[in-house]
Structure 1
Amino acid sequence: MHIFHYVERAAQTSPSKTFLKFEKERISFRQFHRETERLASLLRQHGVQPGDRVALLMENHPHFVISLFAIVRLQAIFIPINTFLKHEEVEHILDDATPRLLICGGRFSRIGAHASNKGIPVLYGGKESESRTPHILGTPTTAELPALDVQEASQDVAFLLYTSGTTGQPKGVMLTHANLSANLASIDRAFSPVVNSRRRFLLFLPLFHTFPLTANLLLPLYFGCTIRMFASLRPFSPIFRSLLTERMDVFIAVPAIYSVLARTKIPWYVRMLLGKKLYISGGSPLHEDTWTTLQAKLPGMVLEGYGLSECSPVVAFTPPGKPKVRSVGPALPDVEVKVVDEDLCELPRNVDGELIVRGPNVMKGYYNRPEETASTIINGWLRTGDIARIDEDGYIYIVDRLKDLIITKGMNIYPREIEEVLYQHGAVEHAAVIGIPDEHLDEIAVAYVVLNSEYPGKIDELILKKYLRQHMANYKVPKQIHFIDEIPLNAAGKVMKRFLKEEVLAALDYVKNHTGAESVNAADPQSTVQPLPETPAEDKKTDANRNEE
């Protein structure tokens, strides 16, 4: 099914119902349908044809949602661009995708001007765009649009999503309308009647990311729900207030946000006012300690899911009322999963291996990368690159990323296992463990830790190592522990471990080149690489890195 069908359906069945709330603005399903048709006519006037690629660089705003559905209404391909990226990173996406047109938020006019100079037509929209021209609120010369066959067009590519690039340059993931619709239908079967048209969704995660794009936008549209949209996570107080005063009852966030909620003192009367809401976590694994605390603290259900861009994105979800600690639940209906060894042979239950996925939600492939597509999708099965195990009830447990696995003297060390133990220490607010090469041990584990505000100066490396040795084998304890102010995260709340590893390796290279030593023993606690230099501010992925004018 073509996803524009859900816009048409909602406009017919609930025309007066509010679809989007943003600041003081209210947009009904009927108004939304009209606006997407108007903008689609304007885009057609600017030369957009079926199969063209149209990029969108904009913060959360009704214009983002209207632009998305106007693009797909024309059977063009929607490309959301991460607003946290730097100029050079955006340029890579534009060069790779070669869009027919760029729709740009006012705050990113510098990139808009650069794209225009490269011959890419630009339209402006969103906040701070009122004085920019041409604007998406322009009036088309004709309102006539070609008819759309929502069944026939279902195999067309709908989205070209560039992966977050935690391990290298981002690749374009091609998702068809059939992929997205199949994923929504599977979620419907798994969650009905817990999720229905009476639910009200809070949207504050950035829509350029595949998790909120599906869970916070496509899903409520599919069910005909109301969405309260916020431009960003900060400030958080209006978001929390909306839970109480506007009776928003579906809260979707990434683990980093839930970790903060787990540590926040919520008075009993606030918990009573919250009522039984649906709290959904995705984007990266939810730590066990956080999950346990939330279950006890928040009324309602805390559900965790698992997915990836290549799977539209949801693969598995905790069934309502049937959670298992540390599990992301069984696979969705119509989605198959296996755990396999290096030869892609299926492993027994409760044995760790690589998780592979097959189903109608699996992507068409990587854009202009046939070799990478062929190595990722084998006989219809998509290799996720995640280490997992499946229990006797079909519940999936994500162990770690295959690329993050650390091997020391032939022994496997899973960084997430160490991180889970670190999170149980009261002083640790955030932790990340990586592996770096070592001349004696193949690899060693290195931990980065952010301490809670009341603990700096009271906890040192020796204390944490002693604590870890009480809870795990000695060979798993990191050889180095570094205390830093911030761990770099991408928009999905995933740790950018590539940046941490590059920092360590750069420090090792510096020592080697400036001491004349042939090698440096990174495991030596007296090594001159400790403490490591702090990550330069311009390399950190924060709100300050946005491409503002």
Structure 2
Amino acid sequence: MERDRLSVRPATSPMPICDLLAYHTSKDLARPAVTYDGLTTSYAELDARSNRKARQLAALGVREGDVVTLAVPNSLEFYESAFAIWKLGATPNIVSSKLPPGELRAIVELARPRLIISEEAARLEGWEFLAAGTSVSEDLSTDPLPTKIAPRWKIHTSGGSTGRPKLIVAKQTGEYDPAKLPVGQLPGETMLNPGPLYHNAPFVGSFQSLFAGNHVVEMGRFDPLRALELIERYKVNWVNFVPTMMNRIWRLPDEQRKSFDMSSIRVVFHMASVCPQWLKQAWIDWLGPDRIMEVYGGSELFGGTVITGREWLAHKGSVGKVQPGYRMRILDEQGNECAPGEVGEIYFLPDKGANSTYEYVGAHAKSVGGWQTYADLGHVDEEGYLYIADRRTDMIVSGGANIFPAEVEAALDQHPDVQSSIVVGLPDSDLGQRTHAIVQMAREARERTNGDALRAFLSDKLVRYKIPRTFEFTNENLRDDAGKARRSKLREERIASAS
């Protein structure tokens, strides 16, 4: 498609993703696209680089309609590769670059990609492979390629921690309206991406920003101090944190945290896991309620909720009301609708119908009459605001009482020596399950804070039966930079060790 046609095409309808970089270049040749490791790449440069990259992938056999498994760390190469895949009319299957070969193979056998782009150590026998970091020949042309549209714009994965991965295939084709911005963003703004791009929210937020012509500052790997430095340096307007990141920033010394200019920030967007009330209140007190926004949902996009900081102050602990275009119900184990205040499983149904936003490969969604669930438990109040309790699979039943790990973890994480915590249920001959806490703590802190000290700390925050019966201490990170924890793996390892 010629550049002069791109420049006059109205930005009020979906365009092929492969043409979006050229479209924004035609409007502003120097427009910044991605800043990474101190270097800023313009839309024109990213367009040229991804054209050349596309020809490299085409030489390896990638064609329209193919899948390419992309297991590359956050970097300019990631952005370049994703656009190159779309330019060929193919679909990126995004996975972690740190997956062990066995887990990567399980995903690849579901995705059946034409090509795997990954670290050399993850090379799989029998699959076409391109090592991450392989240079692209400068002999390859940077000229535009013929316009092609991928049948599906992305494929993410989930469930790998259980050894049974599934693919979450987006139903949307490789087209996007450049006038549509991520929630809370405005045209011409700069966003910071602190999260791993193999997770859905960082990927969608970053690429939709680029689709709309905004500037993405890519961290590469999250560091709390560096996040504040980048916000100040690039006058970032929008950032998507997870509660783990918010906690790490909040744990910085006050004089250090408050020394940075945060005035450019309009929206701190957070999601991925429930934010402890004390932590969210701390951020609202620091930045003000009008700059805090929370979303609850999943990669499948069959439903979700949104809440502003100001709404949250009137409904503390809530994750908001259901978004337009979706309906929500809370159902008990018999499939009956729960009354306000009664905890049940959270179900959604898009107005366009069941399975209109995604499809699974390698799994089946739990469904009740077309309504589907992320397997989370919660309740609504009289005004329809949703409150998350926990995941059904994580709930601990101890002595007949239901214990939600997220509630215990939120209380534990308030202790000044606790960096993070994971609570699991372990088999108990008397209680059925006993509550076991794995606590991340610096070595020096363990000299002054032990299990007894934590029990005493929790005694005025939790009813007695919710307080963990056993504690385990570690100085290793329990959650990744996306705030995710392999809870089932941690539980299984401890059960196997005990037996």
TM-score by length of 2: 0.85
State whether structure 2 residue 254 is matched by structure 1 residue 259: no
The answer to whether the 8 Å contact 2:49/2:142 transfers is no
Give the letter for the 1:175 counterpart.
A
The answer to whether the 8 Å contact 2:222/2:481 transfers is no
State whether structure 2 residue 111 is matched by structure 1 residue 123: no
State whether structure 2 residue 310 is matched by structure 1 residue 330: no
The residue aligned with 1:494 is 484
| Structure 2, gaps ≥5 residues long | 1-13
Instruction: Name the CA distance, whole Å, in 1 between partners of 2:464 and 2:277.
Output: 22
State whether structure 2 residue 213 is matched by structure 1 residue 224: yes
Q: CA deviation at 1:385?
A: 0.4
1:157 to 152, 155, 159: 152
Partner SS state of residue 425, structure 2: strand
1:93 to 103, 107, 120: 107
Instruction: Name the CA distance, whole Å, in 2 between partners of 1:424 and 1:66.
Output: 41
1:169-219: per-residue Cα shift (whole Å, max 9, x none)?
A: 32111113259969x95x75x63xxx202321112322111121012x123
How high is the sequence identity, in percent, across the aligned residues? 23
Q: CA deviation at 1:269?
A: 9.5
Q: CA deviation at 1:226?
A: 0.8
Give the letter for the 1:241 counterpart.
E
1:335-378: per-residue Cα shift (whole Å, max 9, x none)?
A: 322211223333222321111222269643222x3xx32x4355
Partner SS state of residue 47, structure 2: helix
Distance 1:378 1:70, change over 3 A: farther
Over the aligned positions, Cα root-mean-square deviation in angstroms equals: 3.0
1:204 to 183, 194, 199: 194
State whether structure 2 residue 360 is matched by structure 1 residue 366: yes
Pairs within 5 Å for 1:380-459: 380-451=370-441, 455-459=445-449
Q: CA deviation at 1:379?
A: 4.3
1:319 to 308, 318, 321: 308
The residue aligned with 1:31 is 45
Greater RCO, 1 or 2 (C-alpha within 8 Å, sep 6+) = 1
The residue aligned with 2:64 is 50
Give the letter for the 2:86 counterpart.
V
Q: CA deviation at 1:321?
A: 4.0
Give the letter for the 1:123 counterpart.
L
1:15-46: per-residue Cα shift (whole Å, max 9, x none)?
A: 43111122353322233334333433443343
State whether structure 2 residue 237 is matched by structure 1 residue 249: yes
Instruction: Name the CA distance, whole Å, in 2 between partners of 1:5 and 1:335.
Output: 31
Give the letter for the 2:164 counterpart.
Q
Distance 1:470 1:40, change over 3 A: same
Pairs within 5 Å for 1:68-83: 68-83=82-97
The answer to whether the 8 Å contact 2:422/2:478 transfers is no
| Structure 1, gaps ≥5 residues long | 510-549
Give the letter for the 1:383 counterpart.
T
Instruction: Name the CA distance, whole Å, in 2 between partners of 1:404 and 1:8.
Output: 47
TM-score by length of 1: 0.78
The residue aligned with 1:355 is 346
The answer to whether the 8 Å contact 1:446/1:481 transfers is yes
State whether structure 2 residue 262 is matched by structure 1 residue 274: yes
